[in-house]
A and B are shown apart, each in its own frame.
Chain A
Amino acid sequence: MEVLIILVPLALSLGFLGLLGFLWSLKSGQYDDLDGAAWRAIADDAPASDQGRSK
């Protein structure tokens, strides 16, 4: 059961990383336009304006 000493912090930090990822995606406005995002995924090529978009 000593393996728990590694596994538990690992599991917790992975969960925490996932949460951080979600909060980041929320903050960067990725949930503002869900309809558009669905279509962008299958667009032929990304419009030039997407590159270097920060907000």
Chain B
Amino acid sequence: MQAEIDFSHYLRNAGAGLVHLDLAVEGINCAGCMAKIERNLSTIPDVTSARVNLTDSRLALEWKAGALDPALFVSRLAELGYKAYPFERDDAETLEAQRAQGLLRRLGVAAFAAMNVMMLSIPVWSGNGSDMLPEQRDFFHWLSALIVLPAAAYSAQPFFSSALSALRARGVNMDVPISIGIVLALATSVIETINHAEHAYFDAAIMLIAFLLAGRYLDQNMRRRTRAFAGNLAALKSETATKFISPTEIRTVPAAAIRPGDIVLLRPGERCAVDGNVIEGRSEVDQSLITGETLPAMVTPGSAVFAGTLVRSGTLRVRASAASGGTLLDEISRLLDHALQARSRYLRLAERASRLYAPVVHATAFLTMLGWLAYGASFHDSIVTAIAVLIITCPCALGLAIPAVQTVASGALFGSGVLLNAGDAIERIAEVNRVIFDKTGTLTLPELDVANLAEIPGDVVSLAGRLALSSRHPVAAAVARKAGAASPLPDIQEEPGQGVYGLHEGSPIRLGRPSFCGADDLANEILCRDPEASVVAFRYGEFRYVFAVRQRSRADAADVVAELARMGIAVEIVSGDREPAVRLAAEQLGVHEWRAGVLPVDKITRIEELARQGCKVLMVGDGLNDAPALAAAHASMSPVTATHLSQAVADAVFLGERLGPVLAAVKVSRRALRLMRQNLWLAVVYNVLAVPIAIAGLVTPLIAAAAMSGSSIIVMLNALRARAREAV
């Protein structure tokens, strides 16, 4: 299948007659894989470069244009045992990567400046106590200024620009006191140097910048890594579409290459990769990923279909549309815009802290100046003391307190299978006291499963599985998957809309609708017990069996629900599916509160109602219909199988077949929030100890440098405690 993909969308011209292709490769996890792949691909003639990126599990290839078919690389990698998919960096990831690199560059400049200034500062500190000539001291101060002023002007730009934009919006963030501190420290130092004074704070200012940049870079790098990983997952899902390139010819192309107006062919068993309208054909479709409704719906020419729809019975031709005329999608995007606006009003812990912090510190500095003036000190001395107060309180620890914990906690979450989308996700997830689960695809697995496997003999299951391989119907595919069948039976024919049949060892064998296999009685028996199941019948000679195929709960769903309840978090199911299906799921999982048949707008209404009662809701959902609710809730998570839109608006995405990561996210986030608060208190304690020394006018640059580094290191070490992972 892969070899048929049209790669032209992903090829880049690398100049000098070379072509460049990026592949996301599944299964690269050690140096051995890296060496094996690079060596093997380099031996292909005309390949000029094959380079594996182990951090991101990607492979960059360059070869002479026109010399090779890109599909060759994919098949060569498959021979080596790796699945590879063409890959395209999305804008968000490119942006994160650029930011991370920019921060690293600034960090490098600040760190080099700090090192060189230290070389000048240490002679001054020791010389002040002994026999240094004032001219020498001035010379060293001027040299420090020469290094620090340009370095600070360049490397502190992220703080300055963020402080400016906060001030423009008439708000305060952590960068405002940081910027004021840096600017004042540098300005005083220059003035003091001109006046031949003993003390200058160039070293403290540049070290502060370097420390803060280190914290931000680590945070940004974690985010970049998460994005890269998410990008790989999207590539590994390898969404392709079968496009008509002429009225009769088709070609498999990446979904990203489909333009509005293109006509796409959908066959039974395929998942639609685009939004559009049916122009030809009729079929039962499974829209559970979009609406949460598990019962198949019928589409005919004119019906709208959405990306994620699973085609069950017939073949469809669909015209892709950009702005879909589908009322569902329109309504969802309208609700979504509204909900996202409301969310941007959330105030982060750091902002709340700096709202308190900035006025207190600046008032203290001002009072210090007034106090010394009243006490009879000279104007110059009073100003210098006031600025020393600002420098010593300059929120080095405060600026690191939150980002450091955040970085470490997102690393721990990454290890537990949770990828964070939003910067403030940890804080919001930590605050939740109620979880709303969507049912279909969230509490249940998105793939169908055979429910009554235990009642059917093993040899029958494996024979039925081999027969089912000849059918593309999703229900039959579930039987084949569950039986672990790999070798299809020979000479099998398909009766469209009925099933598949043939001869096996001389006896007739068939699989399909109960009526097709003469097993209506058995099927009805199952349907009476479990009206939510889809049935598929199997007949071999005189033996008849009926498989009940249905969506299965995630294996640990009941445990997660129980554990959440133990933590004092209320659990509720709000689903777009019909009542019997939701009631059954709720009973199985021990959830007492549930709502069925809920429309997207009513999901939001429910969340708003809970918010008015003071609940902080974590919404966990995957469908297109959940997207507005995900955006409206206090915090939100999506499984990685969710629709694009839902994944994009959720605060976090979790991987795998288990629900455990949701629990892990809550636990890790709560621990992280506790550590953030602790770190803030540590910073406060530090200030309470240091500020009186500064007010008394006893702070020398040596004390300032030591105190700042000491507090930063304590806060960093405390943040490392967020590293403990949650087993999932």
Does A19 contact B53, Cβ atoms closer than 8 Å? no
Residue B246, interface by CB 8 Å: no
Q: Are B42 and A43 in contact (CB under 8 A)?
A: no
Dominant SS at the A interface? helix
Contact A22 to B112, CB < 8 A, known contacts A40-B31, A49-B42, A53-B51: yes
CA A1 to CA B119, docked complex, whole Å: 16
The verdict on A35 contacting B54 (CB below 8 Å), with A26-B101, A43-B35, A48-B42 known, is yes
Contact of B339 with A by CB under 8 A: no
Chain A residues positioned under 8 Å from B136 (CB to CB): 1
Interface-centre pick from B41, B49, B143 (highest chain A CB count, 10 A): B49
* Interface residue ranges of B80-123 to A (CB < 8 Å): 101, 104-105, 108-109, 112, 115-116, 119
Candidates A1, A35, A44, A49; contact of B49 at CB < 8 Å: A49
Chain B interface category by residue count: 20 to 34
Query: How far does the alpha carbon of A43 sit from the alpha carbon of B30 in the complex, in Å?
Result: 11
Q: Report how far A18 CA is from B39 CA in the complex, Å.
A: 34
Q: Is B52 an interface residue (CB 8 A)?
A: yes
Within the complex, the shortest CB–CB distance from A8 to chain B, in Å, comes to: 7
Contact string, B35-56, partner A, CB cutoff 8 A, digits 1/0?
1001101110001111111111
The residue that B55 contacts in the complex, of A1, A32, A40, with Cβ under 8 A, is A32
B-contact bits for A13-55, CB 8 A (1 contact / 0 none)? 0010011001100100001111110011011100111100100
Q: Enumerate chain B residues within 8 angstroms of A44, measured Cβ to Cβ.
A: 35
Interchain CB contact (< 8 A) of B112 among A8, A19, A35, A50 = A19
The contact of A35 among B39, B48, B55, by CB within 8 Å, is B55
Q: In whole angstroms, how far apart are the Cα atoms of A42 and B32 in the complex?
A: 11
- What is the distance, in angstroms, from B151's C-beta to the closest C-beta of chain A? 9
Q: Is B460 an interface residue (CB 8 A)?
A: no
Is residue B557 contacting chain A, with contact meaning CB distance below 8 A? Answer: no
Binary contact track B130-146/A, C-beta < 8 Å → 1, others 0: 00000010010001000
B108 touches A36 (CB 8 A): no
In the complex, residue of chain A having the shortest beta-carbon distance to the beta carbon of B42: A49
Given contacts A35-B54, A36-B55, contact A23 B105 (CB under 8 A): yes
Q: Which residues of B contact A47 (CB under 8 A)?
A: 35, 38-39, 42, 50
Beyond known contacts A12-B116, A49-B50: 18 more, CB 8 A cutoff: A1-B136, A11-B119, A12-B143, A15-B112, A18-B112, A19-B112, A22-B112, A26-B105, A32-B55, A36-B53, A36-B55, A39-B34, A40-B34, A42-B31, A43-B34, A44-B35, A48-B43, A49-B48
A-side residues, CB < 8 A to B, are 1, 4, 8, 11-12, 15, 18-19, 22-23, 26, 31-36, 39-40, 42-44, 47-50, 53
A-B contact pairs, 14 of them (CB 8 A): A1-B136, A12-B143, A12-B147, A22-B108, A26-B105, A36-B31, A36-B34, A36-B55, A39-B30, A39-B31, A39-B34, A44-B35, A49-B42, A49-B48
